């Protein structure tokens, strides 16, 4: 087969990587820029079918195909992993270093996407400073696809029999339906997994088969392929910017990409925009850009609070790192056909790979546990989730989850010594601290936590985005009634509910809930007011200070104090009126606009992120409530 002029495909690679790059550096400018990864999957399906050929299935062919894919993917990947593990050893807390080391090992094995799925790393909610390799899920997905590709192409061959056609249809349909969540195949996240992406690779494969049979295409289609190409491109760009219903952004982006790849090959060129030299240059660097850009963000956020100017610096650094690694490392392995001819390069690759793997393994040991001095070392070794049990894992209902999903361990029955912690995720640390430090063995812990739901009956639906707040809170109230619970702790992130509806009806509804609890016979009601709210994760802010200044500030300015004080003033009035126990964390930990960040005596942070209490600080609150 004659070589395909892939100018248009190279240009489409550039569009895909620019979309991903801008989405990660300036999320609001291209809201659906992450669909660039979907475009890459389609391109991969087309290109590898062209490289591998069709209807050919031999061990020699498979070996050579995987060998070439390895040389295309792994040299640059290994270089990036070496950079990450070195940076992590020098500057990461022990907990994050171990996490990075583990992710590196899984990345080398091309299964890091499974790791992210099992541990529910949410791509759109991730803290980049703790996940420098999250973007590598797509690389692992591609490598897994390459492994099954020879078998898949055997089914997809041009001489398809009816059973093969049925098999292909079922595989692709299952992949598509799991992707759009029509089929819920398993509990963990489908976003990262191969079986939900096969349909996107298949679009590229199918585009190649159409190209292969181009002589059979209708002449009317051939005559109009330029207008179709321009229209497809315009619609694809639209998908990156505007919200469409029911996964249509991704579905359209995938099929439009397949259309553009096909017509670029048929036309031996493409849209002028995709074929100009600069776009072609970006397309050539696209793999390196994708590998480096997320790591550059991670590196910058390690030292600085993110802003617009740093985004520009990050983009410049991404292109510098990408250009250097491409020209002085990646291209050395691009066209290697025989090991013996380029033994020198394989030696270099072996040394780097060995260094990466060894350092990643050592990161799981205690070798790097004493890299720093004094309080910096204490902060480095501090475990944010230290002391947490199954309560944290099992007793929080996420958005859309029903009270029937609470297991029995979350609720104790027929116990007058039961202490119930009721609220959103802010109730968890209190329950964990009570479980850990409670000395009265007759008292038991119940935790009924609902994401984004304050502990309020008949909650105004405009206060919370969680639509099951009312039904789940009603169940909690009935549970209190049936179990004769005498001690109830009310806790919530009141700050996020402080909208107009909150002041119009939320406070009254909370007060009404408290009086209804008293009518049930609840003897002790404990109301915890708002805790300090930070603009960024407190541990990362403190760690940045420790890296740059070698000190950990015990107090930091808090920009939300005025709003928090206003909320807590209303809560205090309510608590006094109802004659219940009340603690205001702002009064305890804040002085004017500065709030305490950590306890130096036993060393624990006050909060484990921007707002959630640590177990240690939760224990302080419980002591003030005289619960421990």
Residue 555 sits in a domain whose CATH number is 3.40.50.1110
182 and 238 belong to one structural domain:
yes
Are 24 and 124 within one domain?
yes
| Within-domain flag for 567 | yes
Q: What are the phi and psi torsion angles at 607 (to 5°)?
A: -140, 150
- State whether 341 and 408 are in the same domain: no
Per the structure, the count of domains in the chain is: 2
Higher pLDDT, 51 or 223: 51
Q: Could you tell me if 136 and 201 lie in one domain?
A: yes
Residue 377 lies in a domain: no
- Regarding whether 445 and 302 lie in a shared domain, the answer is no
Residue 581: strand pairing partners: 526
Give domain status of residue 283, yes or no: yes
Distance CA 561, CA 584 (A): 12
Residue 574 has what pLDDT?
93
**Does a structural domain hold residue 11?**
yes
Q: Tell me, what's the pLDDT at 3?
A: 47
394 and 344 in one domain? Answer: no
Q: Which of 357, 376, 410 is the last residue of a domain?
A: 357
In this predicted model, what pLDDT tens digit does every residue of 462-511 receive, in sequence order? 888 899 999 999 999 999 999 889 999 999 999 998 888 888 888 999 99
Instruction: Tell me whether residue 364 is in a domain.
Output: no
Distance CA 15, CA 261 (A): 12
- The predicted pLDDT at position 251 comes to 94
CA distance 120 to 112: 12
Q: What percent of the chain has pLDDT over 70?
A: 90
Tell whether 362 is covered by a domain. Answer: no
Does residue 552 belong to any structural domain of this protein? yes
Burial of 355 (0-12, 13-18, 19+ CB in 10 A): middle
The values of phi and psi at residue 581, to 5°, are -75, 140
Same-domain status, 141 and 236: yes
User: Residue 611: which domain range?
Assistant: 390-624
Q: Model's pTM, two decimal places?
A: 0.85
412 found inside a domain? yes
Question: Do 309 and 403 belong to one domain?
Answer: no
> Higher pLDDT residue, 2 or 585?
585
pLDDT per position as a tens digit, 438-459: 888 778 889 999 999 999 998 8
Sign of CA dihedral 72, 176, 37, 91: negative
Neighbouring-strand partners of residue 423: 449, 491
Query: Quick one: pLDDT at residue 442?
Result: 78
Same domain membership, residue 329 and residue 420: no
Residue 166: predicted pLDDT: 83
Pair (551, 407) in one structural domain: yes
Same domain, 347 and 396: no
Judgement on whether residues 142 and 247 belong to the same structural domain of the protein: yes
Q: Is the pLDDT of residue 513 over 90?
A: yes
């Amino acid at each position: 087969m004659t070589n395909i002029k892939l100018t248009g495909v190279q240009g489409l690679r550039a569009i895909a990587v620019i979309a991903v790059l801008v989405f990660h550096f300036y999320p609001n400018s291209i809201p659906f820029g992450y669909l660039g990864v979907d475009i890459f999957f389609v391109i991969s399906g087309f290109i590898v079918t062209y490289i591998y050929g069709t209807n050919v299935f031999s061990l020699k062919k498979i070996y050579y195909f995987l060998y070439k894919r390895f040389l295309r993917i792994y040299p640059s990947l290994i270089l990036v992993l070496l950079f990450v593990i070195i940076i992590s050893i020098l500057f990461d807390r022990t907990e994050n270093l171990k996490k990075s080391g583990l992710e590196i090992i899984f990345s080398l094995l091309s299964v890091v996407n499974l790791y992210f799925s099992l541990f529910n790393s949410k791509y759109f909610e991730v803290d980049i400073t703790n996940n420098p390799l999250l973007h590598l899920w797509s690389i692992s997905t591609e490598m897994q696809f390459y492994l099954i590709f020879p078998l898949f192409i055997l089914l997809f061959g041009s001489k398809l029999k009816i059973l093969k056609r049925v098999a292909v249809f079922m595989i692709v349909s299952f992949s598509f339906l799991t992707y759009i969540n029509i089929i819920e195949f398993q509990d963990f996240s489908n976003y990262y997994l191969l079986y939900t992406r096969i349909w996107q690779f298949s679009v590229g494969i199918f585009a190649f088969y159409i190209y292969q049979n181009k002589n059979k295409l209708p002449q009317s289609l051939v005559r109009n392929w330029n207008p179709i190409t321009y229209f497809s491109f315009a619609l694809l760009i639209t998908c990156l910017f505007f919200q469409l219903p029911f996964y249509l952004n991704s579905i359209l982006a995938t099929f439009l990409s397949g259309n553009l790849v096909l017509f670029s090959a048929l036309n031996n060129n493409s849209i002028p925009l995709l074929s100009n030299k600069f776009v072609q240059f970006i397309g050539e660097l696209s793999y390196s850009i994708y590998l480096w850009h997320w790591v550059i963000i991670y590196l910058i956020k390690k030292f600085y609070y993110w802003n617009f100017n740093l985004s520009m610096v990050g983009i410049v650094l991404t292109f510098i790192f990408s250009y250097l690694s491409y020209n002085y490392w990646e291209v050395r392995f691009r066209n290697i056909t025989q090991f013996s001819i380029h033994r020198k390069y394989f030696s270099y690759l072996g040394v780097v790979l060995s260094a990466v793997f060894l350092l990643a393994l050592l990161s799981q040991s205690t070798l790097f546990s004493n890299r720093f001095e004094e309080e910096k070392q204490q902060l480095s070794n501090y475990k944010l989730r230290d002391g947490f049990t199954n309560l944290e894992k099992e007793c929080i209902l996420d958005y859309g989850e029903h009270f029937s999903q609470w297991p029995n361990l979350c609720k104790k029955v027929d116990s007058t010594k039961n202490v119930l912690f009721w609220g959103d995720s802010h109730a968890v640390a209190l329950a964990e601290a009570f479980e850990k430090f409670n000395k009265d063995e007759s008292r038991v812990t119940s935790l009924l936590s609902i994401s984004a739901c304050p502990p309020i009956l008949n909650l105004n639906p405009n206060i919370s985005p969680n639509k099951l707040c009312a039904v789940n809170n009603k169940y909690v109230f009935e549970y209190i009634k049936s179990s004769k619970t005498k001690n109830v702790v009310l806790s919530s992130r009141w700050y996020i509910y402080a909208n107009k509806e909150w002041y119009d009806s939320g406070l009254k509804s909370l007060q009404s809930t408290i009086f209804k609890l008293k009518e049930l016979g609840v003897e002790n009601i404990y109301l915890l007011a708002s805790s300090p709210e930070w603009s960024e994760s407190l541990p990362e802010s403190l760690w940045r200070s420790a890296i740059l200044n070698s000190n950990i500030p015990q107090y930091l300015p808090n920009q939300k104090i005025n709003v928090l004080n206003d909320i807590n003033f209303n809560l205090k009035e309510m608590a006094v009126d109802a004659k219940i126990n009340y603690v205001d964390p702002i009064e305890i930990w804040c002085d004017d606009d500065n709030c305490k960040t950590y306890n130096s005596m036993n060393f624990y942070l006050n909060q484990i992120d921007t707002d959630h209490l640590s177990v240690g600080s939760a224990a302080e609150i419980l002591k003030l409530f005289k619960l421990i």
